Structures are given as structure tokens and as C-alpha cells.
């Protein structure tokens, strides 16, 4: 019998497994993939993420992997008009190829039992009576199950989650590029709005640039159904993005791709399975805060789960505290993120937003601040934990 089964070894899963293992709980961290692996993501780590890394004791390791500092954000309208804004604190750029492996290893070092190539299916049970699940075909028992399996997975269907009833029109693609423009992008993240979607360019280790976009499925279909053509025919209509890509060459073998990116609200629990990270709710990618939020949901649930496992909090109190803590910390930025995402998909609104941010820089600063959490970590950790109790 494990104390906790954590489903998914992305940021949320590795972080919570590490923290629960540090508290001497018996944790099984099951990841269906094997590391290292590429993953669709803009790979921009907002300052808030660094605070979590510091608490997990991995910030230095993240830096040693070659994470690139990012200090400025440039937004461009579909016309190419640009506006630059200093970030309130430096962000980092590191590939998921390096980051997820590093976090998984850190969780295992902390005492979690990590299994890779281990898909979890058939989750059943309750917080009161305990759970069973199949992990790579083997039946395991756990007192608590944390769903950290990302934005959309087969398990959502098995758990009959209501958000699946809504279709979403968003597709996403990502690849790494290299070339002369990589140097001019040093320390800058660029977000280019274009017909059919928006595209982010962000530096990662090894002098590479992450090129990642989210677009409307109609824009993909109109341009023949391939990411290369979608980029060429739709997104590169933005002259600023076109100019950047002229001197960049794709170095990834293929694009990572995802469809049905679910930005709608989700429930925090499916039955008694507690959802964290994207499984609890995904913030619009252009906020660049999804990974930080995944880490913060782990920080939020960790003391509550620890209390539940130690008998200091019953199932109802655990559920209530997590639901209300989540809404308090993330509800507002999720709503704002959906609003900014909708604007980015309308060329007229995107143009107006960029022009207004140029004319009124405090608006840009307000948007940047309010689509993410606090950057400073040391003090925030214990406060978060205390607030959760
Ligand atoms: C286009 C796009 C761009 C983005 N850009 C950024 C960005 O620049 N910055 C940022 O902070 N965020 C960004 N995000 C969001 C970010 O990628 C997510 O918020 C983040 O990965 C969430 O972490 P997670 O741990 O919740 O889930 P994930 O990182 O998705 O990890 C979930 C893990 O669960 C595993 N899994 C799934 N099902 C099972 C199962 N049944 N059994 C075992 N394992 C399972 C998966 O293999 C995966 O490894 C972007 C998202 C998109 C779509």
C-alpha cells in the first residue's frame, strides 16, 4: 500500500512526489513515457517557477543545464508593430527534454519510487476507503491518488470528466531552431500575433530557440494540414515573425504537435482523485505561466495531502481546502489568461492590445504581473504551506 500514487511525471507530478517523499511518505510516481523526451511547450519558465525550484533544491541544477535568462518580453501585432517590456524579474528558458528528466531524478533521490514507461489506468476508490489502480498492468493500492497527467489524457475519459464535453478549436506545435537570429533573441521572449494564432520565440540551452505556436484548427486545415505550411502561409504573415524566421533553421527532427488544447475550466477532483497542474486547469499558453502554475499546485496540495495522510485532516477537509486554495490562488489569472488568449486570436483586438501597451506601458506591466504569480520564493513557500493548513 502506497501513501500516494502520483500519475504523471511532468512538473506537477515530480514536484509533489518529491515533497511528499521528503516527508517520509511512501510515494509511487508513474510516468507513461521514458526520459529524456521532447514535449510540446514554449519552455519559458516564469520567475515564479524559479521560486519553486529553489524550494525543491533544483535551481542550481536547472542553471547548470544551461537555462538561459530572459529579461524582456516583446509583443508584436499581426502588422509587425512591436512593443518591448522588461519583465519584473528574470525568467529562464530550458527545454522540457532536460527539465523533466532532472525533476524526475530529483523526486527519486528524495525517496519517491519512480517508474517510467508505466501508464496508469483503471483508477478506482475513494479517500475514505483507499484506491486501486493499474500501473503498467500491475495492480497497486494507494491511500491518495494525485492526477498530474497533464492537459488532456485518456484517463479523463475513464474518469468521465465533464470538460471533455466541450470541443476546443486549438492546436499547438513546437520545434527548436538555430541560426543567426538566435543571438538577437538573447534574453528576450517574443510573442507574435498573426492570422489564425500566435507564435512564441524563446531562447533555450545550447543557443537554440524554441518556436512554439497555438493556432485555430481552421488555420491548419486552410494551409493544407501541416505545421510547416501553417507557419509559412498564416503565421509568417506577421512581418516581424517572418523576419526572425528567415535566419533560423529548424534543428528538431519533427514538430511536437497537440490538438484540442483545453483552456476551459475543469474540476479539481474527479471522484476523489485530486487533480494538479494542467489536469486541474490549464492557463492560456501566451501567459507563459503553465509550468509555474503546475509547480504551485503541487506546493498547494503538498501540505494538505501530508496532513490527510498523517490523519490531521479528514477527506472532506482536504477536498475543501484544496478547492478553495486553488480558486483563491489561480482563479483570477486563469480568467484573465482566457481573455488575453481570445484577444490574441482576433487580429483587430491583438493590434489594439499591442498599440495600447505601447502607448500605456503600465498596462503591459499590469498584464504581465496579473497573468502570473509572485516571483519571490523563499518567503512564499512557508506562507503557502501555512495558508493551506
Ligand atoms: C502551445 C503551448 C505552449 C506552452 N508554453 C508554455 C511556456 O512557454 N511556459 C509555461 O510555463 N507553460 C507553457 N505551456 C503550458 C505547460 O506546458 C503546461 O502548463 C505544463 O506542462 C503543465 O505541467 P503538468 O505537470 O501539469 O503536465 P505535463 O507537463 O503535461 O505532464 C503530464 C505527464 O503525465 C504523463 N501521463 C499522462 N497520462 C498518463 C498516464 N495515464 N499514466 C502515466 N503518465 C501519464 C505524460 O506523459 C506527461 O509526462 C504551454 C502549453 C502549450 C499547449
How many residues are given for the chain?
389
Paired strand residues for 218: none
Q: Does some domain include residue 241?
A: no
- Number of Cβ within a 10 Å radius of residue 328: 11
Contact 177 CB / ligand 1 (< 6 Å): no
Q: Give the sign of the dihedral formed by CA 355, CA 48, CA 317, CA 112.
A: positive
Q: Look at residue 156 and tell me if it is in a domain.
A: yes
Ligand 1, atom 8: closest residue by C-alpha: 42
Q: Which residue's CA is the closest to the ligand 1 atom numbered 27?
A: 150
**Is 93's C-beta closer than 6 angstroms to any atom of ligand 1?**
no
**Contact of 367 with 357, CB cutoff 8 Å:** yes
Statement: residue 16 has pLDDT above 50 = yes
Work out the pLDDT band at 375, boundaries 50, 70, 90. low
**127 within ligand 1 shell (Cβ under 6 A):** no
Task: Identify which of 7, 42, 117, 268 to mutate to test ligand 1's pocket (most ligand atoms within 8 A of the CB).
Answer: 42
Within-domain flag for 180: no
User: What is the per-residue pLDDT for 385?
Assistant: 32
Residue 234 lies in a domain: no
Using the 8-state DSSP alphabet, how is residue 67 labeled?
P
In a domain, 36, yes or no: yes
**pLDDT in the model for residue 372:** 67
Average pLDDT over residues 261-270: 95
Under a CB-based contact definition with an 8 Å cutoff, are residues 377 and 50 in contact?
yes
Looking at the domain assignment, is residue 56 inside a domain? yes
Cβ of 321 below 6 Å from ligand 1: no
Residue with cell 506545435: 173
As a whole number of angstroms, the distance between CA 190 and CA 42 comes to: 11
pLDDT of 343 > 90? The answer is: no
Q: Is residue 63 part of a domain?
A: yes
Q: How far separated are the first and last CA of the chain, in Å rounded?
A: 25
DSSP letter assigned to residue 117: S
Confidence of residue 389 (pLDDT cuts 50, 70, 90): very low
Write out pLDDT tens, residues 119-142.
Answer: 999 999 999 999 999 999 999 999
CATH code of the domain in which 102 resides: 3.50.50.60
**Total domains present in the chain:** 1
Q: What is the pLDDT of residues 145-188, one digit of tens each?
A: 999 999 999 999 999 999 999 989 999 999 999 998 787 788 99
Residue 374: band (very low, low, confident or very high) from pLDDT cuts 50, 70, 90: low
Ligand 1 pocket, mutate which of 40, 176, 294, 330 (most atoms under 8 A from CB): 294
- pLDDT at position 377 is 42
Does residue 111 fall inside a structural domain? yes
Residue nearest to atom 16 of ligand 1 (CA): 290
Ligand 1 pocket, residue 119 CB under 6 Å = yes
Domain span including residue 310: 2-70+98-166+266-344
Report the Cα 260 to chain-centroid distance in Å. Answer: 15
pTM of the model: 0.93
Amino acid at each position: 500500500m502506497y501513501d500516494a500514487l502520483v500519475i504523471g511525471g511532468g512538473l506537477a507530478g515530480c514536484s509533489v512526489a518529491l515533497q511528499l517523499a521528503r516527508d517520509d511518505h511512501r510515494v509511487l510516481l508513474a510516468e507513461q513515457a521514458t526520459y529524456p523526451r521532447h514535449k510540446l511547450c514554449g519552455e519559458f519558465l516564469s520567475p515564479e517557477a524559479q521560486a519553486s525550484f529553489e524550494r525543491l533544491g533544483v535551481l542550481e541544477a536547472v542553471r547548470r543545464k544551461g537555462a538561459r535568462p530572459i529579461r524582456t518580453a516583446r509583443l508584436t501585432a499581426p502588422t509587425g508593430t512591436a512593443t518591448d517590456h522588461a519583465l519584473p524579474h528574470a525568467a529562464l528558458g530550458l527545454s522540457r527534454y532536460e527539465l523533466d528528466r532532472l525533476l524526475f531524478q530529483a523526486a527519486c533521490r528524495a525517496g519517491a519510487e519512480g517508474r517510467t514507461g508505466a501508464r496508469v489506468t483503471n483508477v478506482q476508490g475513494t479517500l475514505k476507503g483507499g484506491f486501486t489502480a493499474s500501473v503498467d498492468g500491475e495492480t497497486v493500492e494507494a491511500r491518495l491518488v494525485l492526477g498530474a497527467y497533464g492537459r488532456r489524457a485518456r484517463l479523463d475519459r475513464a474518469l468521465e470528466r465533464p470538460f471533455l464535453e466541450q470541443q476546443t478549436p486549438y492546436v499547438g506545435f513546437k520545434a527548436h531552431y538555430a541560426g543567426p537570429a538566435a543571438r538577437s533573441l538573447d534574453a528576450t521572449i517574443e510573442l507574435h500575433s498573426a492570422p489564425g494564432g500566435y507564435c512564441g520565440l524563446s531562447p533555450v540551452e545550447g543557443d537554440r530557440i524554441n518556436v512554439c505556436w497555438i493556432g485555430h484548427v481552421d488555420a491548419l486545415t486552410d494551409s493544407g494540414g501541416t505545421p510547416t505550411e501553417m507557419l509559412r502561409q498564416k503565421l509568417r504573415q506577421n512581418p516581424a515573425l517572418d523576419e526572425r524566421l528567415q535566419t533560423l533553421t529548424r534543428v528538431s527532427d519533427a514538430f511536437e504537435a497537440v490538438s484540442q488544447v483545453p483552456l476551459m475550466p475543469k474540476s479539481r477532483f474527479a471522484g476523489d482523485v485530486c487533480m494538479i497542474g494542467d489536469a486541474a486547469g490549464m492557463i492560456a499558453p501566451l501567459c507563459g505561466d503553465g509550468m509555474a502554475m503546475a509547480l504551485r499546485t503541487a506546493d498547494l496540495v503538498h501540505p494538505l495531502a501530508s496532513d490527510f495522510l498523517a490523519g490531521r485532516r479528514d477527506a472532506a477537509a482536504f477536498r475543501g481546502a484544496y478547492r478553495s486554495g486553488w480558486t483563491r490562488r489561480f482563479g483570477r489569472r486563469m480568467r484573465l489568461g482566457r481573455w488575453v488568449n481570445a484577444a490574441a486570436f482576433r487580429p483587430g483586438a491583438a493590434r489594439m492590445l499591442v498599440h495600447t501597451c505601447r502607448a500605456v506601458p503600465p498596462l503591459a506591466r499590469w498584464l504581465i504581473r496579473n497573468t502570473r504569480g509572485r516571483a519571490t520564493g523563499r518567503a512564499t513557500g512557508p506562507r503557502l504551506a501555512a495558508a493551506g493548513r
